[in-house]
Amino acid sequence: MIKQFFLAIAIAATFTACKTTPKGDEATTTDTQTVATTSGSDYLIDSGSVVGFTGNGVGKNHPGTFKLTDGKISVADGKVTAGSFTINIAGIILTEPAEMIQTKLKGHLLSPDFFDAAKYPTAKFEITKITDYTSNETDKSVVAGANALVSGNLTLKDSTKNVSFPAVISVTETEVTAKANFNIDRTQWGMSYGNDKSLKDKFISPEVNIAIDIKAKK
């Protein structure tokens, strides 16, 4: 019984230590590209649109969201042609209610170690290209019904990189919706704090999960 008790503890500890960033599509990150030219009709980003994120440390995940302050999506012939939106970094919302999360962790994320929100209160995403996308056995998106491959310049702090990821986009006469779920490497935007495995249980994964949920209306 004693051996079984300690075995159970060891198994539980292993599962806790192995907690990882949520599964998402692996985004392709390259240098900045030319922003797509606006054409067609403009749909304004709805206030309920959000960019979710989940950061990962040893044995723990910390989810949260950013609201979008403004933006628009351009549509021509029933397809998205261009668009951009501003992300409210300074207004970061952490999902976990614990006081330590809402004070210490939130303050740390807003500090120069991460987003440096006092200096860079917003981030920006600008579409550079959209092509058709079809999931298959060798290239299967985690997003059900993904039908578009979106590329855009993501500016965080003073760094801009082009990111490509699958998304499911729906266009009607009055509304555009877009959803995506992918992982990026935060160090490519100069956020390297905690990315050292010698820190052991203080290690923070460079991989961050991003979940986009956007609505835009005429």
User: What does the pLDDT look like over 79-94, one tens digit per residue?
Assistant: 999 999 999 999 999 9
- 13 belongs to a structural domain: no
Give the predicted TM-score (pTM) of the model: 0.88
Is residue 129 included in any domain, yes or no? yes
9 within some domain: no
pLDDT tens for each residue of 159-180: 999 999 999 999 999 999 999 9
In a domain, 7, yes or no: no
Residue at 5 is within a domain? no
**Domain annotation covers residue 3:** no
CA dist list (Å): 11 to 15, 22, 77, 134: 6, 21, 55, 39
Q: How many domains does the chain have?
A: 1
**Is 40 inside a domain boundary?**
yes
CATH number (domain holding residue 41): 2.40.128.110
pLDDT band at 125 (very low <50, low <70, confident <90, very high): very high
How confident is the model at residue 74, as a pLDDT?
98
Q: So what's the pLDDT on residue 14?
A: 36
Its domain, for residue 136, covers: 21-217
Whether 127 maps to a domain, the answer reads: yes
